[in-house]
Structure 1
Amino acid sequence: MRIGAHVDPTDPLDAAVGREAETVQFFLSDPQGWKSPEPRADAEQLRAADIDVFIHAPYVINVATLNNRIRIPSRKLLVAHATAAATVGAKGLIVHGGHVNSGDDIAVGIDNWRKTFAYAAESGGFATPVLIENTAGGGNAVARRFDVLARLWDAVGEYGVGFCLDTCHAHAGGEDLLDIVDRVRAITGRIDLIHANDSKDGFDSGRDRHDNLGHGKIDPELVVAVVRAAGAPVVVETPGGTEGQAADIAFLRDRVGR
């Protein structure tokens, strides 16, 4: 099990050293923008390093939506990021499950996800494995409640889609962490990455605000139990920069090994 952090994209390898991280996750472009990634000068070093690399897709991507002006550019941007992620040797591209607008049929949003993978498969598939991440808020979200997540996986599971489990998102989204690994695996058959985050807000708040482990509303031993049970690579997306994330990594490394 390799533990690391989401870091600034400027120099991920240096950020890993400062945190004693074995895994890094970062953005390849503005997370709130629609611009495709530019080639990275350190791509070769990232591929050669003994560090597991994960890329997070921009937050603006929403392939579930019925709005063509967002869905079609989202598909194109997801492909562009998967292609760019492969150049840095990324093990996965994390993307939020997205949502449909109020009044829209969520079944159509789920089918839009299926079409995204079906279209990609016609061209040989995504260059980097796509990991869909559970989300914290929204009554029309595709990957917040696990009953809807099960419907999503019925539609996309045949394409070998990966899953990223975020502990803050699950807690804030109203899913109990106590038996969550078993419940996720019963749906997806896999967990490819854990985002080990505490939450500033209460259970089922619908608010996506991360906190350092042991400083928020989640019992830190529950996060440890999730990490231990999943046996997947771990990324902390917590505040506090190098110091805060290094402490969270050390906390997990100490307790998971027990």
Structure 2
Amino acid sequence: MCIGAHVDPGDPLAEAHARDAAVVQFFLADPQGWKDPAPRADAEQIKASDVQVFVHAPYVINVATTNNRIRIPSRKLLLSHANAAATVGASGLIVHGGHMLKDDDLSTGFDNWRKTFAYAAEQGGFATQVLIENTASGDKACARRFDALARLWDAVGEFGVGFCLDTCHAHAGGEDLIDIVDRVMAITGRIDLIHANGSRDGFDSGRDRHDNLQSGMIDPKLVVAAIRASGAPAVVETPGGAEGQSRDIAYLRSELAD
């Protein structure tokens, strides 16, 4: 199994070495900002390395919303990050499923997702495969509850979109981790990446606060089971820097070796 971590973008290969990580995920720009990624001097070095790379899109992106001031820039920024992610050889670009305003019809959000892929196609397509990630909160979220996820996939599945399963988000979002891979696969037919995270909060709390795997409110063996069942690479997005994440990576490797 390919196990690694979300790391600081300054020198992702050095961060991978510090954690003995086979895969890394990082941001290419401010996760809370709207700026396009700047070219990286180390792009070719990252692309040529043996470390598998994933890029996480900024949190501000919400292509589902009816708010034009957010939705339209979100489409453009997602396309820009996909182009930049290709320059470092990323296997996927992870983006949150997005949400609607409280009085909106959720079906509009699914249609806006479909229009996002149509917009990208007009620009030549996404240079890096987009992986939609399940989210932890929001009554009008497109990818929190799996009934909504199924409707989202009905709208975008034809575009070859991938899926990223976050264990903390599922737990906090009210989806049991027992047999979760089977339930996701029945909807999406694929899991391309696991975000292997513990949770500081209880089931269905709606709170996205990650914890290390051997602490918190999630049985870590359920996280291990999800990775094993999916066969997908996994990254920990857990606290504690290199030391804390190294412990989580070592735990996963030990459990998955059994």
TM over 0.5: yes
**In the TM superposition, what whole-angstrom CA distance separates every residue of 1:52-109 from its partner, at most 9, and x where no partner exists?**
0000000000000000000000000000000000000000000000000000011001
CA distance in 1, matches of 2:152, 2:44: 36
Instruction: Give the aligned partner of residue 83 of structure 1.
Output: 83
What residue identity is the alignment partner of 2:148?
V
Report runs of 4+ in structure 1 exceeding 4 Å deviation.
Answer: none
Query: Which residue does 2:168 correspond to in 1?
Result: 168
Q: Distance in 2 between matches of 1:175 and 1:45?
A: 39
Aligned to 1:234: 234
| Cα distance in 1, alignment partners of residues 256 and 134 from structure 2 | 23
**Which residue is equivalent to 1:143?**
143
Name the structure 1 match of 2:111.
111
Q: Which residue of 2 aligns with 1:208?
A: 208
Structure 1 CA distance for aligned equivalents of residues 151 and 251 of structure 2: 35
- The alignment status of 1:67 with 2:57, answered yes or no, reads no
Matches within 5 A, 1:126-205: 126-205=126-205
Q: CA separation in 1, counterparts of 2:76 and 2:27? A: 17
CA distance in 2, matches of 1:61, 1:50: 30
Q: What pairs up with 1:50-65 in 2 under 5 angstroms?
A: 50-65=50-65
Q: How much does 1:121 deviate? A: 1.7
Partner of 1:227, secondary structure, is: helix
SS in 2 for 1:82: helix
- Match of residue 97 from structure 1: 97
C-alpha distance in 2, partners of 1:90/1:236? 17
Q: Using the TM superposition, give the Cα deviation of residue 257 of structure 1 relative to its aligned residue in structure 2, in angstroms.
A: 1.5
Name 1:243's counterpart in structure 2: 243
Q: TM-score, normalised by structure 2?
A: 0.99
**3-state DSSP class of the match of 1:226?**
helix
Which residue identity lines up with residue 94 of structure 2 in the other structure? Answer: I
Residues in 1 aligned to 2:13 and 2:26: alpha-carbon distance in whole angstroms: 11
Using the alignment, how far apart are the partners of 2:62 and 2:122 within structure 1?
21
In structure 2, stretches of 5+ residues that fail to align are: none
Q: Deviations over 1:126-178 (max 9, x none)?
A: 00000000000010100000000000000000000000000000000000000
Q: CA deviation at 1:214?
A: 1.4
CA distance in 2, matches of 1:114, 1:185: 20
| Percent of aligned pairs with the same amino acid | 77
In 2, Cα distance between the equivalents of 1:220 and 1:29? 31
SS of 1:194's partner is: strand
1:120, CA displacement in angstroms? 1.1
CA distance in 1: counterparts of 2:229 and 2:257, whole angstroms: 12
What is the TM-score with the length of structure 1 in the denominator? 0.99
Moved more, 113-122 or 201-210: 113-122
After TM superposition, give the deviation of residue 123 of structure 1 in Å: 3.0
C-alpha RMSD over aligned residues = 0.5
SS of structure 2 residue aligned to 1:53: strand
Q: Match for 2:243: what amino acid?
A: E
1:255 aligns with 2:255: yes
